[in-house]
Structure 1
């Protein structure tokens, strides 16, 4: 038997409506934990189907299945989602307009991304308290809540497979009766979690892999996985921000970094671009001039597209050919590997909720480091500093 930590709390699990989104914010396994600990859990009909989980399994776990998602929004104290609220064309209304004052929303909001600014402003007006999972700090007690890391693991892996599929040649060195075919050259920009996973996946496929990062420690990790590493020459004090994340570089250093990496990019068959700065727009590191100089048939996977992208030519949700090079701005790569990503995501979001629920109440303690860095809106105000900065507030 569980404890009564969640007693009195109603938790809502809507079906994700974003195009191509196959994940869901709770599995029968996490629902069972919430119910055992006293929660009432409402799941929208079919919410788990794309992650290969049936309504009957949610019911066995103790959830109530609802046809009408508005009813879930009406009753729930906390709404758990995977992606930010968007317009629900079936109902003819925006998911933000289904929220109410004081209700809690936990999801990936990407509040600094320009495409989300209007939504974030109306989210603040709704009076709902919203927390964004891309704000989870890299501290040890938040590790098991860090959905960004989980999803980056999936994105890094899948991005290499997508790129290999588009490439018109073998990835590994291949011996044939008519001679040796040389391995593909893969360059990974940004060796955080996604980049390291991309690096090891490309190595497993037999590519020659070079890693680029402005943080010495990140390059050490890349080296330990068997990647060649490239030093951009950006000094550590300029490069490293809070929690070991990359800092936003001044423009002169961005230009120097581009010059330093140019030849490496131009010579690559595949570039996996994952460089991000937390809560800010991704830096543009691959210019149109570099793309023009690349070999036709090369592929750029811009994994950082959700925060604007690392390539000047990439467009959100668009796969296009520029100067003979495929530039892939596919959004939401983790959504393509639904079973593994949902399994991790649902545990991350459950651990976050469980850490802050006391006696059936979700405690928004703004002194707590995790809450402080994930809180986006509360009491009608926009509090997220990255979003405020991006909006010029």
Structure 2
């Protein structure tokens, strides 16, 4: 079989390792995959170490391991785990493509900064998830899946007893009761993991379709006695509840949560403040030694009233873990999945040996948030 012509698109990845971040946006197997799509890969030295990939792994796969300055200077497109800072955007040459979760739902100023810098912004959060052709590009699904798995592990580690029932010579230990609020991708993974660890699992979500999904994993569906029959939102996300619905849900969850040992919350509505699912009254109703893992904790708040990023113990002895960085705690697997997502987005835009946008194509029109071209700007105006 004849070799492909020399690659004409250069893809670069920088080292994003930080206190909270261990993932990398390119793994060696994806280097090989991209070469088949006519893409040459550059990666900053040391970028994969926290995910257990050394420079030699990338070199063997056909990537060029270079300095950060070389990546920035030579790349036609840059892929990110987290969006680049404004300072980094200022260093990137005009015309470069920026691919990642850009926060475009809530941060118009950041998108404007990409546009002002003369860059092309591809926002992976705007991927049309309902398209079958887009499934392998869906970073939110892949990383939320890892997050849900890790949330159950973190909760088990913080809980002061066994999760499964144990019968010993000294007596029988009852299984832990786990409540998972939000049965999307992360919630379903948390259910499956907690079940495998032997816990008795109950879950709740406002989407009507979630009941069957929860029960198919062997968990119980929490009956709050409420009917949010229009809980399904666009693109497979839960819709935002009205203020009255939120109040009803919060009161019911607060009352029911008191019977559980572990509560894991995973409910996020893209582009908005996370809904509060467990209030301070609900936290106060939990027994001493109970554990809460809030996957939605962020600067915007979380699913648990008063939660913040990090670990805190309440006056009544309840441990609250605000954990938005859980996927980074499974860095090898998370990087494998994320790098596939980013690479498939990049490969989608490689046309006739170069990067190109077709705004008549649904995926292009949805994801390209900056650098759409003068004609597109005129049409939008």
Tell whether the structures are fold-level matches, with TM greater than 0.5.
Answer: yes
Residue among 311, 317, 333 paired with 2:326: 333
| Partner residue, 1:64 | 64
Deviation at 1:132, TM superposition (A): 2.6
The match for 1:170 among 129, 144, 162 is: 162
CA deviations over 1:319-343 (Å, ceiling 9, x no partner): 1112321111123211111111111
Partner Cα distance (2:115, 2:290) in 1: 43
- Where in structure 2 are there 5+ consecutive unaligned residues? 377-381
* Distance in 2 between residues matched to 1:177 and 1:33, nearest whole Å: 55
Q: 2:147 aligns with which of 141, 148, 155?
A: 155
Matches of 1:277 and 1:241 in 2, distance apart? 9
The RMSD of aligned alpha carbons is 2.3
Corresponding position of 1:91: none
Q: Which moved more, 1:206-215 or 1:259-268?
A: 259-268
Q: Is the 8 A contact 1:283 1:309 kept in 2?
A: yes
Query: Any conservation in 1 of the 2:17–2:23 contact (CA below 8 Å)?
Result: no
Residue 37 of structure 1 and its aligned partner are, at CA, apart by 3.5
Q: In 2, distance between residues paired with 1:130 and 1:153?
A: 25
1:51-86 residue CA offsets vs partner (Å, 9 max, x unmatched): 11121221122221112x122112211001111224
Deviations 1:336-381 (A, max 9, x none): 1111111111112111111221013323333433334433433699
Structure 1 equivalent of residue 21 of structure 2: 21
Distance, in Å, in 1 between the alignment partners of 2:260 and 2:108 is 35
CA distance, structure 1, for counterparts of residue 249 and residue 56 of structure 2:
54
Greater shift, 177-186 or 145-154, is seen at 177-186
Q: Give CA deviations for 1:112-147 in whole Å, capped at 9, x if unaligned.
A: 46xx67655533432322223233222211111111
Flag the 1:375–1:300 CA change in 2: closer, same or farther, 3 A: farther
TM-score by length of 1: 0.87
Specify the alignment match of 1:209 in structure 2.
201
Hey, what does 1:123 align to over in structure 2?
114
Structure 1 stretches lacking a partner, 5+ long:
88-93, 384-393
Shift of the 315–356 alpha-carbon distance from structure 1 to 2, 3 Å rule, reads same
State the match for 1:370 in structure 2: 363
Number of corresponding residues:
370
C-alpha distance in 2 between matches for 1:298 and 1:86: 38
> Is 1:226 the equivalent of 2:218?
yes
C-alpha separation between the residues in 1 aligned to 2:121 and 2:295?
25
Match of 2:379 in 1: none
Secondary structure of 1:304's match?
coil
CA distance in 1, matches of 2:3, 2:366: 30
**8 Å Cα contact 1:190-1:212 kept in structure 2:** yes
Distance verdict in 2 for CA 1:221–1:96, change over 3 Å: same
Contact 1:126/1:380, CA 8 A, preserved across alignment: no
CA separation in 1, counterparts of 2:355 and 2:229? 39
Q: Name the residue aligned to 2:279.
A: 287
Alpha-carbon contact 1:18-1:83 (below 8 Å) kept: no
Q: 177-186 or 200-209, which moves further after superposition?
A: 177-186
CA distance in 1, matches of 2:371, 2:72: 17
Please say if residues 234 and 253 of structure 1, whose CA atoms lie closer than 8 Å, have aligned partners that are also in contact.
Answer: no
The runs of at least 4 aligned residues of structure 1 exceeding 6 Å deviation read none
TM-score (norm 2): 0.90
Conserved? CA contact 1:35–1:63, under 8 Å: no
